[in-house]
Amino acid sequence: MTTPPLPAADIQPINLEDEMRSSYLDYAMSVIVSRALPDVRDGLKPVHRRILFSMKENGYEYNKPYRKSARIVGDVMGKYHPHGDQAIYDAMVRMAQDFSMRLPLIDGQGNFGSMDGDKAAAMRYTEARLARAAHSLLEDIDKETVDFQANYDETTREPVVLPARFPNLLVNGAGGIAVGMATNIPPHNLGEVIDACCALIDNPDTDDADLLELVPGPDFPTGGTILGRAGIRAAYATGRGSIVMRGRTHFEEVRKDREAIIVTEVPYQVNKAAMIEKTAELVRDKKLEGIAEIRDESDRHGVRVVVELKRDAQAEVVLNQLFRFTPLQSTFGVNMLAINGGRPEMLTLRQVLEAFLDFRQEVIRRRTVFELGKARDRAHVLAGLAIAVANIDAVIALIRAAPDPQTAREQLMARDWPADSVAPLIALIDDPTHQVVDGHYRLSETQARAILDLRLHRLTGLERDRIGQELTEIGARIRHFLAILGDPETLMGVLRDELVEMRENFATERRTTIEENEFEQDIEDLIPRQDMVVTLTASGYVKRVPLSSYRAQRRGGRGRSGMATREADVVTSLFVANTHAPVLFFTTTGMVYKLKVYRLPQGNPQARGKAAVNILPLAEGEAIATVMPLPEDEESWADLHVMFATARGGVRRNSLSDFTSVRANGKIAMKLDDGDSLIGALTCRADQDVLLCTRNGKAIRFSVEDVRVFAGRTSTGVRGIRLLDDDRVMSLSLLSGGDHDSDTRNAYLKAARRLRGEENGEAENETGGESPAENGTEDAASADIDLDAELFATMQAAEEFILTVTENGFGKRTSAYEYRRTGRGGQGITNIDTSARNGQVVASLPVGDDDQIMMISNAGRLIRLPVGDIRIAGRATQGVTLFRTDADETVVSVAHLADDGADDGADDGADEDSEDGAEDGTENGGLDGLEDDTNGADSAPTDD
Summarised one tens digit per residue, pLDDT across range 331-349 is 999 999 999 988 899 999 9
Ordered strands of the 718-719 beta sheet:
678-684, 641-646, 650-655, 718-719
pLDDT at 725: 81
d(CA 203, CA 798) in angstroms, rounded, equals 60
268 is catalytic: no
Segment 262-282 shows an average pLDDT of: 94
Which pTM does this prediction carry?
Answer: 0.59
Stronger pLDDT, 732 or 334, i.e. the higher one: 334
Mean pLDDT, range 123-147, rounded to an integer: 95
Report the range of poorest mean pLDDT among 227-241, 374-388, 475-489, 687-701.
374-388
The pair phi, psi for residue 335, each rounded to 5°, is: -145, 90
Q: How far apart are CA 740 and CA 145, in angstroms?
A: 92
Res 151: pLDDT: 92
Q: Which residue has the higher pLDDT, 68 or 476?
A: 68
Tell me what pLDDT residue 777 has: 34
Positive or negative, the Cα torsion across 702, 705, 708, 713? Answer: positive
Average pLDDT, integer, range 3-8:
67
Angle 345-350-351 from CA coordinates, rounded to 5°: 25
pLDDT of residue 562: 57
Put the strands of the sheet holding 305-309 in their side by side order: 248-255, 258-265, 305-309, 291-296
Q: What is the 3-state secondary structure (H, E, C) of 605-662?
A: CCCCCEEHHHCCCCCCCCCEEEEEECCCCHHHHHHCEEEEEECCCEEEEEEHHHHCCC
The arithmetic mean of pLDDT across residues 212-239, rounded, is: 94
Helix axes 69-79, 85-96, angle to 10 degrees: 120
Show Cβ contacts of residue 198 under 8 Å, excluding neighbours closer than 6 positions.
496, 499, 500
> Cα 163 to the chain's mean position, in Å?
37
- What is the average per-residue pLDDT within 324-334? 92
Q: What is the mean pLDDT of residues 769-778?
A: 37
pLDDT confidence tier of residue 879, bands split at 50, 70 and 90: confident
Output the pLDDT for position 240. 93
DSSP, residue by residue, 804-831 = EEETTSEEEEEEGGGS----TTS--EE-
Range 611-618 average pLDDT? 81
Average pLDDT over residues 454-460: 74
Give residue-wise pLDDT tens across range 64-99.
999 999 999 999 999 999 889 999 999 999 999 999
Other Cβ atoms closer than 10 A to 931: 12
Out of 176-180, 618-622, 811-815, give the one with best mean pLDDT.
811-815
Q: What is the mean pLDDT of residues 558-582?
A: 65
User: Which distant-in-sequence residues (6+ apart) come within 8 Å of 269 by Cβ?
Assistant: 100, 330, 332
Asked if the model's pLDDT at residue 897 lies above 80, the reply is no
The pLDDT, as a whole number, for residue 873 is: 87
Among residues 348, 42, 344, 352, the alpha carbon closest in space to that of 180 is found at: 344
- Pick the catalytic residue from 27, 125, 598, 819: 125
- Measured CA to CA, the distance from residue 407 to residue 404 in angstroms comes to 5
CA distance 270 to 721: 65
pLDDT for 609 equals 82
Residues 429/379, Cβ–Cβ less than 8 Å: yes
Q: Is 564 exposed, middle or buried (CB count within 10 Å of its CB: 0-12, 13-18, 19+)?
A: middle
Average pLDDT over the chain, rounded to an integer: 82
Of residues 436 and 376, which shows the higher confidence score? 376
Q: What is the per-residue pLDDT across 490-505, written as a single tens digit (0 to 9) for each? A: 999 999 999 999 999 9
857: alpha, beta or left, given left = phi > 0 and alpha = psi -120 to 50? beta
State residue 465 phi and psi, 5-degree precision.
Answer: -65, -35
- Enumerate domains of the chain plus CATH numbers: 30-164 (3.90.199.10), 248-327 (3.30.1360.40), 355-503 (1.10.268.10), 529-628+640-737+800-935 (2.120.10.90)
Task: Report pLDDT for 222.
Answer: 95
* pLDDT > 90 in the chain, percent: 36
Residue predicted with more confidence, 310 or 639 = 310
Nearest to 469 by CA among 437, 428, 420, 433: 428
Q: Read off the pLDDT band of 265 (50, 70, 90).
A: very high
Averaged pLDDT, 200-211: 92
Partners of 812 in beta bridges: 804
What mean pLDDT comes out for the span 111-122?
94
Backbone angles phi, psi at 186, to 5 degrees: -75, 155
